[in-house]
């Protein structure tokens, strides 16, 4: 069957919508049109009356801001800064209810990137029902709940909620925010129950970038239902518009004098001061020292040396050979003229230096894009000799040139062996290759854990070498059971860069990969690439059969499903 | 406040929805693989498209805009599924069950990255450029997926035919 015939069949056999579908769409359209008519009627109020109403509303808002705002009073500390923006908080944004509970969006603030809000969920029958603490906060209130605590087989603790001590029925609620129809990420949450039995929930969401629109349309959805009746949950939804507090200012970070400290250098960066948050994007280079297992933390101070605290988990990306830090911090009352960036070794009371920078106001942020990783960043070990021993079989060894990540895939005679197995990589001279941070206090390889890949049924060990250039030519890989003198097995292989191999790509990959003649590879046509350097997925799982390297590269690439799916 | 849609625009919107409702349904079905979810997603998409119609500068783009809204509504539905409960083990859509070659049965079995571009290109006759816009993918990626999708589909169908013989 030709491709053209298949394409024809796809069109010919298109499924028809089920009965009732067209009527459903008509009803939806009808509802929208009616709603629009109602809106139009409302807008026919005379300008004078409308203006008067707005004045009254504004006054009401101001009165509430002065005395009753709760947005900045989350039980464990405000999720956003509050200085000078109380009057920008919108209140009474709407509510929805069903027979179990009423959802109300009480207060909200939007600064172009961050949305902070306070919502409440109140039981309709507080004598009989109670709302379950949001985001597992019930774990902190064991005096209210009956909780079963058990030790698990692997030494962990399992907590199970059994019910409320006062016998009330438990109602659960959730919270999801859609902005202009797209779900946004919840960055922080806090909650508490007030004296009337209402669950008050403080939420902070972040858009991916500053939104240009002065007004965003929000929809807050909450699945409300009886705790042990999962299927019976119903969605409550409140829609509202949020006007942006549009007075953020962006500054370029310009180092004054030397931009370097000990093994780090500030390359470029921007700070955006908004009313609810301060946002920083900073590119820097850093050479890790052996004792700096966790790397460095770049901390921000104003010119007077006062720390500007970070609000949420930072995000660090690899940009070429350098690093990009994306961080959110508390808002500042006064924008400083200069700032200080301090590089502190994580886990130690030691700094690598401080760089003083001045801030230059700018209209735009101009940072180089994080480049697509170059394709030849993964190499493989081609077996030299047998990779099969009495108790184990080595399947693949993947080496990530940029980060030094090494993934060893193997099978062995049981889970117990797999758990205790440790690998040492030996360079061309037979010397152990230094691992980046997988050494115990005595300098022995540690921190290697065999993970069973549920998909393939193989074990994988992830480890990192300090200098991947040590892994070239013929290298050895030694497997040892922890605590035993004699190695379990020792294998040898030649480091092979599949992409630099000449000739037939298929051969290059298949030579590098299969060591077990009984192992069947599905030969598909996916040529994977990665957007995240530390993704453990194979770079080239399956290569096209019988094409040359040049042809394969030209035919396009398929994003790695593990690390690239979200990006798409 | 933006001006409300004019009467003509309102009529055009309703007319375009009616014209495209089957296409929108099929796209939602390809993404969600459940009739009821597909219907809900189209309703959500129509509502979202209407509420934000002021963003549309050129009404000629309305069909593509509706398609983009449908794809977004389906993505939201998929995200919701992941959060709320594990995705059910779905029975594949059998398509034209009485056909000797039920191509939609195979199509629905493909990964989404292949089945969606195939359904849009060959099922709805959408140009590659438009698919790329709706799915927010580079044009080259769409072309590659179409080519590979067809290849996989053909291989599966041939395998099935061989099995029967």
Confidence of residue A312 (pLDDT cuts 50, 70, 90): low
One domain, residues A390 and A349: no
Nearest one of A283, A89, A102, A120 to A193, comparing CA atoms:
A120
Rounded distance, CA A241 to CA A106, Å? Answer: 13
Residue A540 contacts by C-beta under 8 Å, 6 or more apart in sequence?
A378, A498, A509, A527, A528
Rounded distance, CA B132 to CA B110, Å? Answer: 19
One domain, residues A220 and A358: no
Residue A37 contacts by C-beta under 8 Å, 6 or more apart in sequence?
none
A558 neighbourhood in chain B, CB within 8 Å? 144, 148
Q: Which of A434-448, A544-558, B146-160 has the highest mean pLDDT?
A: B146-160
Confidence of residue A269 (pLDDT cuts 50, 70, 90): very high
pLDDT of residue A510: 31
3-state helix, strand, coil in chain A (%, to 5): 15, 40, 45
Distances (CA, A) of A192 to A200, A311, A341, A550, B71: 5, 21, 37, 61, 37
Element (H, E) at A95: strand A90-97
Look at A3 and B154 and tell me if their CB atoms are within 8 Å: yes
Residue A217 lies in a domain: yes
- Asked if the C-beta of A558 comes within 8 angstroms of chain B's C-beta atoms, the answer is yes
Instruction: Give yes or no for residue A61 having a pLDDT over 90.
Output: no
Beta carbon pairs, A and B, within 8 Å: 116
Higher pLDDT: B77 or A263? It is A263
Confidence of residue A360 (pLDDT cuts 50, 70, 90): very high
Look at A11 and B22 and tell me if their CB atoms are within 8 Å: no
Paired with B63 in beta bridges are none
Residue A124 lies in a domain: yes
Q: Which of A362, A397, A425 is the last residue of a domain?
A: A362
Look at B151 and A568 and tell me if their CB atoms are within 8 Å: no
- What's the Rg (C-alpha) of chain B? 17
pLDDT of residue A520: 28
Nearest one of A185, A242, A181 to A213, comparing CA atoms:
A242
One domain, residues A547 and A516: yes
Paired with A405 in beta bridges are A464
pLDDT of residue A95: 93
Domain count, chain A: 3
pLDDT of residue A340: 93
One domain, residues A412 and A313: no
Confidence of residue A497 (pLDDT cuts 50, 70, 90): low
Residue A567 lies in a domain: no
Instruction: Give yes or no for residue A335 having a pLDDT over 80.
Output: yes
pLDDT in tens, A2-47: 777 788 888 888 888 888 888 888 888 887 776 654 343 332 222 2
Residue A113 lies in a domain: yes
One domain, residues A335 and A385: no
Task: Give the closest of B18, B46, B137 to A568, CB-based.
Answer: B137
Q: What ipTM was assigned to the predicted interfaces of this complex?
A: 0.84
- List the domain boundaries for chain B: 1-90, 92-165
Confidence of residue A449 (pLDDT cuts 50, 70, 90): low
Backbone angles phi, psi at A223, to 5 degrees: -85, 115
One domain, residues A272 and A417: no
pLDDT of residue B89: 31
Rounded distance, CA A53 to CA A212, Å? Answer: 28
One domain, residues A85 and A204: yes
Residue holding tokens 């969606």? B116
pLDDT of residue A98: 92
CA distance A15 to chain B (A): 6
Check which CATH number belongs to the domain holding A294 and give it: 2.60.40
CA distance A3 to chain B (A): 6
Check which CATH number belongs to the domain holding A140 and give it: 2.60.40.1630
| Stretches in chain B below the pLDDT threshold 50 | 1-4, 82-98
DSSP A236-270: EEEEEEEE-----EEEEEEE-S--B-SSEEEEEEE
Look at A3 and B148 and tell me if their CB atoms are within 8 Å: no
One domain, residues A152 and A234: yes
Whether A497 and A446 have beta carbons less than 8 Å apart is answered as no
Lowest mean pLDDT across A246-255, A316-325, A331-340, A383-392: A316-325
State the virtual CA torsion across A482, A486, A492, A497 in degrees, nearest 10. Answer: 20
Residue A299 lies in a domain: yes
pLDDT in tens, A121-137: 999 999 999 998 776 66
Paired with A157 in beta bridges are A151
pLDDT of residue A90: 87
Instruction: Give yes or no for residue A446 having a pLDDT over 80.
Output: no
Neighbour-count burial for B127-157, b at 16+ CB within 10 Å, e otherwise: eeebbbbbbebeeebbbbbbbbbbebbbeeb
Residue A63 lies in a domain: no
Nearest one of A251, A252, A313, A316 to A285, comparing CA atoms:
A316
Give me the domain span that covers residue A230: 70-243
The share of chain A scoring above pLDDT 90, in percent, equals 15
Task: Give the closest of B39, B99, B158 to A24, CB-based.
Answer: B39
Look at B14 and A29 and tell me if their CB atoms are within 8 Å: yes
One domain, residues A421 and A303: no
Residue A215 lies in a domain: yes
Whether A552 and A540 have beta carbons less than 8 Å apart is answered as no
Q: Which of A188, A213, A243 is the last residue of a domain?
A: A243
Look at B80 and A176 and tell me if their CB atoms are within 8 Å: yes
The share of chain A scoring above pLDDT 70, in percent, equals 67
Instruction: Give yes or no for residue A508 having a pLDDT over 60.
Output: no
Confidence of residue A299 (pLDDT cuts 50, 70, 90): confident
DSSP A43-60: HTS-HHHHHHHHHHHHHH
Question: Which segments of A194-311 are extended strands (E)?
Answer: 199-206, 215-226, 234-243, 249-255, 264-273, 277-286, 296-302
Q: Which of A196, A217, A243 is the last residue of a domain?
A: A243
- Asked if the C-beta of B41 comes within 8 angstroms of chain A's C-beta atoms, the answer is no
**Domains B1-90 and B92-165 equal at CATH topology level:** no
One domain, residues A254 and A325: yes
Confidence of residue A60 (pLDDT cuts 50, 70, 90): very low
Element (H, E) at A145: strand A145-151
Whether B134 and B119 have beta carbons less than 8 Å apart is answered as no
| CATH number assigned to the domain with residue range B92-165, chosen from the 4 options 3.30.70.870, 1.10.1380.10, 1.10.10.10, 3.30.1050.10 | 1.10.10.10
Rounded distance, CA A436 to CA A289, Å? Answer: 9
Confidence of residue A477 (pLDDT cuts 50, 70, 90): very high
pLDDT in tens, A383-427: 787 788 888 888 778 776 666 778 788 888 877 888 788 888 898
Paired with A416 in beta bridges are none
- Asked if the C-beta of A135 comes within 8 angstroms of chain B's C-beta atoms, the answer is no
Domain spanning B1-90: CATH 1.10.357: no
pLDDT of residue A243: 85
Task: Report the mean per-residue pLDDT for chain A.
Answer: 72
Instruction: Give yes or no for residue A539 having a pLDDT over 50.
Output: no
Higher pLDDT: A245 or A180? It is A180
Residue A97 lies in a domain: yes
One domain, residues A283 and A137: no
């Amino acid at each position: 069957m030709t491709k053209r015939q298949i394409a024809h069949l796809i069109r010919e056999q298109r499924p028809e919508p089920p009965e009732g579908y067209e009527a459903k769409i008509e009803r939806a359209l009808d509802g929208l049109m009616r709603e629009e008519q109602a809106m139009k009627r409302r807008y026919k109020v005379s300008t004078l009356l409308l203006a008067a109403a707005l004045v009254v509303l504004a006054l009401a808002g101001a009165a509430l801001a002065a005395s009753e705002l709760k947005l900045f009073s989350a039980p464990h500390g405000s999720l956003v800064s509050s200085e000078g923006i109380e009057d920008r908080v919108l209140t009474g944004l709407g509510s929805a209810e069903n027979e179990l509970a009423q959802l109300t969006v009480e207060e909200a603030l939007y600064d172009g990137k961050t949305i902070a809000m306070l919502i409440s969920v109140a039981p309709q029958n507080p004598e009989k029902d109670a709302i379950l603490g949001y985001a597992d906060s019930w774990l902190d209130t064991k005096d209210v709940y009956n909780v079963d605590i058990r030790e698990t087989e692997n030494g962990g603790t399992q907590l199970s909620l059994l019910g409320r001590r006062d016998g009330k029925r438990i109602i659960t609620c959730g919270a999801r925010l859609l902005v202009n129809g797209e779900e946004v990420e919840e960055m922080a949450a806090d909650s508490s129950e007030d004296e009337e039995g209402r669950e008050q929930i403080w939420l902070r969401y972040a858009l991916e970038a500053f939104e240009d629109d002065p007004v965003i349309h929000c929809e807050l959805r909450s699945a409300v239902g009886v705790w042990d009746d999962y299927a019976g949950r119903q969605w409550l939804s409140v829609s509202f518009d949020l006007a942006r507090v549009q007075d953020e200012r962006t500054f370029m970070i310009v180092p004054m004098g030397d931009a370097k400290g000990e093994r780090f250098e500030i390359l470029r960066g921007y700070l955006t001061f908004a009313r609810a948050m301060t946002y920083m994007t900073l590119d820097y280079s850093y050479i890790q020292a052996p004792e700096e297992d966790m790397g460095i933390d770049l901390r921000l101070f104003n010119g007077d040396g006062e720390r500007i605290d970070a609000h949420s988990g930072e995000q660090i990306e690899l940009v070429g050979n350098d690093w990009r830090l994306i961080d959110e911090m508390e808002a500042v009352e006064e924008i400083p003229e200069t700032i200080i960036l301090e590089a502190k070794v994580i886990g130690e009371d030691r700094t690598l230096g401080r760089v003083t920078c001045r801030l230059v106001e700018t209209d735009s942020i101009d940072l180089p894009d994080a480049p697509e990783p170059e394709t030849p960043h993964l190499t493989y070990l081609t077996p030299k000799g047998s990779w099969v021993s009495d108790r184990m079989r080595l399947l693949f060894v993947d080496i990530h040139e940029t980060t030094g990540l090494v993934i060893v895939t193997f099978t062995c005679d049981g889970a117990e062996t797999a758990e205790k197995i440790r690998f040492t990589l030996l360079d061309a001279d037979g010397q152990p290759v230094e691992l980046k941070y997988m050494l115990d206090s005595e300098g022995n390889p540690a921190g290697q854990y065999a993970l069973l890949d549920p998909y393939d049924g193989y074990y994988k060990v992830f480890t990192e070498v300090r200098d991947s250039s040590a892994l070239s030519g013929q290298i050895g890989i030694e497997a040892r059971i922890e605590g035993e003198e004699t190695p379990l097995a020792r294998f040898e292989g030649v480091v092979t860069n599949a992409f630099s191999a000449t000739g037939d790509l298929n051969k290059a990959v298949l030579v590098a990969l299969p060591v077990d003649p009984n192992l069947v590879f599905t030969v598909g046509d996916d040529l994977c690439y990665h957007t995240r350097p530390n993704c453990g997925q194979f770079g080239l799982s399956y290569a096209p059969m019988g094409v040359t390297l040049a042809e394969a590269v030209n035919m396009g690439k398929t994003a790695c499903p593990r690390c690239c799916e979200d990006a798409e | 406040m933006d001006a409300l849609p004019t009467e003509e625009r309102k009529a055009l919107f309703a007319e375009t929805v009616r014209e495209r409702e089957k296409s929108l349904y099929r796209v939602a079905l390809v993404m969600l693989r459940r009739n009821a979810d597909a219907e809900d997603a189209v309703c959500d998409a129509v509502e979202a498209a209407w509420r934000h119609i002021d963003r549309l500068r050129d009404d000629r783009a309305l069909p593509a805009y509706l398609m983009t809204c449908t794809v977004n509504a389906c993505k939201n539905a998929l995200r919701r599924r992941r959060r709320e409960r594990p995705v059910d083990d779905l029975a594949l859509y059998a398509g034209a069950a009485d056909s000797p070659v039920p191509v939609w049965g195979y199509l629905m079995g493909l990964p989404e990255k292949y089945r969606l571009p195939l359904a849009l290109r060959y099922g709805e006759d959408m140009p590659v450029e438009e698919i790329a816009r709706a799915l927010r993918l580079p044009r080259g990626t769409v072309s590659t997926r179409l080519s590979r999708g067809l290849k996989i589909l053909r291989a599966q169908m041939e395998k099935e035919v061989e099995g029967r013989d």
